[in-house]
Chain A
Amino acid sequence: AQKVTQAQTEISVVEKEDVTLDCVYETRDTTYYLFWYKQPPSGELVFLIRRNSFDEQNEISGRYSWNFQKSTSSFNFTITASQVVDSAVYFCALNRPQGGKLIFGQGTELSVKP
């Protein structure tokens, strides 16, 4: 069975701090995709990244970076120099290729205070 665990329910930081959101997953598949989504207070789900299980290179996009480690089944997300606009719930998710359903973690609510 597939499972995604986000152990941090809530994180609160002060603006300009760096913050890392943890994600640990379980799957028996050898090929899978990992995702991060942002859910701001307005409620929509905003796609941030998709990572293929065969690609363990870390990725950086502006202030966002992702650390994928297959050995520990983790796909952590770091926001550098956090801003108030980063305040949201962040979901990590996992699926199989070819249309597999997304399995979501419980989400981490990030609060960035000025």
Chain B
Amino acid sequence: EPEVTQTPSHQVTQMGQEVILRCVPISNHLYFYWYRQILGQKVEFLVSFYNNEISEKSEIFDDQFSVERPDGSNFTLKIRSTKLEDSAMYFCAGTGLNEKLFFGSGTQLSVL
């Protein structure tokens, strides 16, 4: 069964550094998402992406965040200047016409 692939599985960075989290969605998916989960908390929506543009974003997704799908395959989340509170598990997800939302295995981001 096709999978959503996320790399890296773990990322450690210094506060103030830029990080890029990468995702390869399932090829026939149309809608793409980033979610995050702070340790022990619920999964929170960050942003959705459709037809090569952001379709919705949450309050969390401020100017420090950006998303791209540069080559029609990879879907990236960039955090420009990381803060301690950005430490979380970041999940990429996608869905197609059948509307079953599949998640990647996540990237655990640790900001020191």
Contacts and interface: CB of A to CB of B under 8 A. Distances in A.
Contacts of B100: 47, 50
B44 A47 contact: no
**Interface footprint category on B:** 20 to 34
Contacts, number: 53
A91 B102 contact: no
A104 B44 contact: yes
A62 interface: no
A106 interface: yes
A64 interface: no
Interface of B: 30-31, 33, 35, 41-45, 48, 50, 55-56, 58, 89, 91, 93, 95, 99-106, 108
9 contacts: A50-B99, A50-B101, A91-B42, A95-B101, A98-B99, A99-B30, A99-B50, A102-B33, A104-B43
